[in-house]
């Protein structure tokens, strides 16, 4: 079954013809929403990966242009000199920006960005620097003929990590016999491994450098440090030691405890009052159903259990879903794009401009009129991942992975396990054993009638719209309680 928005449109049009109106709760409308959210999410991930890759593409371009004509390979000294020149490539521009800046004025954004980048590359130089292994003739030849495209790097397979660990102010001349350069660390990595490491490495380096670029100098070889004009920007802003007597509690601790107490007072006064409707909904659902709740204070996972005939049903969800709202943003963004099709069309409107007279009530399709006023007041809830396990003694168990949102359980995958403990996977060994088993096809790839029967299978066991509305409310209430408990624990620890 197609997944992209364009292919889903095409599939629906082939099945139903030209689509002028869809009920918002119909299967095709949900498919369109899912496809739109997926396309938006894929586009964002692709953009982030492209930005991270571009940093390394620029690095490879620099090394490519730095190879002298006729060079066959580089020695270790040449490699080190090449990396040092790469890191210090921004020094002339930084010096110019500093000379143009009036005394007492803060640095420009460009100057801060260059300092942060240089600082990050300095740290990478000490812990492991990504570069082509130019000591090999085949790599030099491949880099010279490189066309500048990221995908073509995979055919050369020359990206690797070098651990430069030079001692402070002691440059080494012979890297083969020096402890500052280990050939054991020259492990070859595929470009796919480099791509996976790009976002983490880049974000971690920038996050660290942004906090310390202007406060702490990073020890490095003499030939890597910025020149004299930059030393003043890298000087620490406070003394390295103090001769004052030690006090029992730092002044900052007192202010922090006071802030925590103020936050606690505010959360206890208004925290659950804002969630009063959610608390009432939770109490109503649990009182009118046979679900048993396992909610351990301090833990983020909640478990609901019940019996249905000879079956044991178990639902698990976590507070962590509330802390990651990127999926909700993707969902709302997909709706805002209007899904590239005309939604609720007027019933009595002609196709060529509306030559037929319309009554006010005819401006909404009949199937949608009863939902019109309700939809104005409803806001889309955040998606909560819910794992459903249904176990029959002696017959294994089903694991149904779902997303609860807006009163619907959206099934993602249905898996069968002959051993029920694999469905729960409470240990790392069980989780590893489960990963080696066939988990079944994606739910949206199944026949539509089969999808309908599986959704009905859950509804008959009480996994319905009422429960789908209650679970996001439960997560919000529990997250509020855990936040208050966390504030109390941190305050008690600091003030002890």
- Number of Cβ atoms within 10 Å of the Cβ of 53: 19
The better pLDDT of the pair 114, 221 is held by: 114
Are 161 and 183 in contact by the 8 Å Cβ rule? The answer is: no
Distance CA 14, CA 7 (A): 10
Whether 177 has a pLDDT exceeding 70, the answer reads no
Are 140 and 74 in contact by the 8 Å Cβ rule? The answer is: yes
Confidence tier at 197 by pLDDT (50, 70, 90): very low
Confidence tier at 172 by pLDDT (50, 70, 90): very low
pLDDT for the residue 198: 47
The better pLDDT of the pair 173, 432 is held by: 432
Confidence tier at 271 by pLDDT (50, 70, 90): low
Distance CA 466, CA 411 (A): 16
Same fold across 67-161 and 260-323+380-495: no
The better pLDDT of the pair 478, 158 is held by: 478
pLDDT for the residue 210: 42
Percent of the chain with pLDDT over 90: 17
Taking only the tens place, the pLDDT of each residue in 202-221 is 444 444 444 444 334 444 44
Whether 400 has a pLDDT exceeding 90, the answer reads yes
CATH fold of the domain at 67-161 = de novo design (two linked rop proteins) (1.20.1440)
Whether 245 has a pLDDT exceeding 60, the answer reads no
* Paired tokens of 417: 């396990």
What residue spans define the domains of the chain? Answer: 67-161, 260-323+380-495
pLDDT for the residue 427: 59
**Which architecture characterizes domain 260-323+380-495 according to CATH?**
Roll (3.10)
Whether 358 has a pLDDT exceeding 60, the answer reads no
Distance CA 204, CA 5 (A): 34
Confidence tier at 434 by pLDDT (50, 70, 90): low
Task: Please tell me whether residue 299 adopts helix, strand or coil conformation.
Answer: coil
Distance CA 111, CA 97 (A): 7
Q: Which range (83-87, 215-219, 257-261, 425-429) has the least confidence?
A: 215-219
Distance of CA 376 to the CA centre of its chain: 31
pLDDT for the residue 306: 93
């Amino acid at each position: 079954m197609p997944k992209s928005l364009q292919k889903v449109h095409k599939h629906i049009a082939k099945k139903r013809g030209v689509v002028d109106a869809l009920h918002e709760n119909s299967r095709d409308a949900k498919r369109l929403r899912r496809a739109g959210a997926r396309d938006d999410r894929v586009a964002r991930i692709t953009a982030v990966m492209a930005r991270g890759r571009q940093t390394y593409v620029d690095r490879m371009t620099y090394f490519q242009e730095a190879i002298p004509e006729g060079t066959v390979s580089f020695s270790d000294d040449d490699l080190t000199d090449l990396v040092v020149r790469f890191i210090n490539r921004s020094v002339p521009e930084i010096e110019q920006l500093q000379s143009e800046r009036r005394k007492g004025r803060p640095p420009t954004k460009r100057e801060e960005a260059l300092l942060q980048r240089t600082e990050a590359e300095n740290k990478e130089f000490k812990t492991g620097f990504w570069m082509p292994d130019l000591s090999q003739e085949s790599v030099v030849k491949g880099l010279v003929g490189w066309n500048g495209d990221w995908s073509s790097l995979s055919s050369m397979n020359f990206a690797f990590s070098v651990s430069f660990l030079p001692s402070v102010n002691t440059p080494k001349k012979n890297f083969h016999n020096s402890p500052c350069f280990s050939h054991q660390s020259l492990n070859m990595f595929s470009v796919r491994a480099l791509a996976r490491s790009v976002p983490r490495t880049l974000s971690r380096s920038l996050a660290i450098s942004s906090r310390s670029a202007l406060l702490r100098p990073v020890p490095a070889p003499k030939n890597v440090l910025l020149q004299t004009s930059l030393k003043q920007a890298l000087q620490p802003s406070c003394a390295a030691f103090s001769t004052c007597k030690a006090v029992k509690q730092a002044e900052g601790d007192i202010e922090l405890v006071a802030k925590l107490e103020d936050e606690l007072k505010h959360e206890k006064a208004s925290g659950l009052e804002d969630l009063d409707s959610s608390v009432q909904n939770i109490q109503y659902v649990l009182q009118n159903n046979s679900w048993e709740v396992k909610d351990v204070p301090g833990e983020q996972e909640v478990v609901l259990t019940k019996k249905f005939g000879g079956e044991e049903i178990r639902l698990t969800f976590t507070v962590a879903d509330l802390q990651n709202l990127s999926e909700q943003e993707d969902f709302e963004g997909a709706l805002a794009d209007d899904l590239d099709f005309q939604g609720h069309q007027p019933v009595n409107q002609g196709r060529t401009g509306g030559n037929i007279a319309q009554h006010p009530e005819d401006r909404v399709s009949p199937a949608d009129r009863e939902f019109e006023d309700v939809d104005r007041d409803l806001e889309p809830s955040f998606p909560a991942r819910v794992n459903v396990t249904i176990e029959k003694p002696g017959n294994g168990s089903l694991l149904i992975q779902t997303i609860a949102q807006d009163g619907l359980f959206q099934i993602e995958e249905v898996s069968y396990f002959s051993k029920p403990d694999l469905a729960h996977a409470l240990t790392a060994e069980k989780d590893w054993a489960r990963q080696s088993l066939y988990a079944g096809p994606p739910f949206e790839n199944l026949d539509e009638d089969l999808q309908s029967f599986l959704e009905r299978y859950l509804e008959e066991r009480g996994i319905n719209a009422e429960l789908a509305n209650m679970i996001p409310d439960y997560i919000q209430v529990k997250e509020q309680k855990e936040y208050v408990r966390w504030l109390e624990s941190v305050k008690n620890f600091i003030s002890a």
